[in-house]
Amino acid sequence: METSTPTAAVTSHATSVVVWDVPSAIVAGERFRITVGIKCSDECHLPNTDFGIYDDEGAQVATGTLSDERWPGTTGLYVAEVELDAPAGEGLHIWSVKGPSTALGAGPLTGLGTDSGSDTGIPHAEGSTRFGVRVVSPPECLVRVEAVDQITQTPISGARVVMHPYKAVSDERGVAEVRVAKGAYTLFVSQTGYLTFRLPVEVDADMTARAELSPEPVPERN
């Protein structure tokens, strides 16, 4: 028969880390920005909480501090924008974010939330997540994409142009300019209400592509 272990008087709150807004293609050596969010499982208020960002080797490349504002639409996610230097080597790098970081000298965090009511003085366990940093060589070619409605031949603004990993959005003239490295791509152009346009392209110089998008049929209900 098992004996029960005495429960510790203080247990730490779990935390989760979320990263978004990572650019899909980053030129080697350039700076880029990401957004980091940290959430306490008990929805503690987490202002001025520090976290660290680490490269594929585990070396810390940056630190950040969460803002005082809760991220809109969430119940307890506190965020920070962080500016980072892209690594030199081309390819996909897997970096990570860890926090809240007690090693940075902030000490055990205290929750100030009033809704949980149980967290005063309770430390937060470190959470972490990984994110991909795709480093590309400087793009040599300009691809100009004109997005138009196949039926009306009118420009489609706000169309998303993707030549993985490069992305752009069309302007009010329906034009998007994507700078890409030479190579083979699938050009996608998509917009709500249209079927995604798809065209394999081989890019070895500046070029223009016309994308005629056909409206997505509305399913008939019998």
* Burial 188-216, CB ≥16 within 10 A → b, else e: bbbbeebeebeeeeebeeeeebebebeee
Among 63, 116, 128, 190, binds other proteins (CB under 8 A): 190
Cα three-residue angle 214-220-222, rounded to 5 degrees: 165
Which conformational region is residue 193 in: left (phi greater than 0), alpha (psi within -120 to 50 degrees), or beta?
left
Shorter beta-carbon distance to other proteins: residue 153 or 222: 222
- Which residues have C-beta within 8 Å of that of residue 193, sequence separation ≥ 6? 215, 216
Contact 70, 14 (CB under 8 A): no
Q: Give the type of residue at 1.
A: M
Is 216 a binding residue for other proteins by CB under 8 A? The answer is yes
Is 71 a binding residue for other proteins by CB under 8 A? The answer is yes
Among 97, 145, 170, 188, binds other proteins (CB under 8 A): 188
Is 114 a binding residue for other proteins by CB under 8 A? The answer is no
Shorter beta-carbon distance to other proteins: residue 103 or 214: 214
Among 13, 37, 122, 159, binds other proteins (CB under 8 A): 37
Rounded CA separation 213/193 (Å): 10
Shorter beta-carbon distance to other proteins: residue 117 or 217: 217
**Residues contacting other proteins: total by CB under 8 A:** 40
Q: Per-residue x/- marks for other proteins, 195-214, CB under 8 A? A: xx-x----------------
Binding residues for other proteins (CB under 8 A): 16, 18-22, 24, 35, 37, 39, 71, 73-77, 92, 130-132, 134, 160, 162, 164-165, 186, 188, 190, 192, 194-196, 198, 216-222
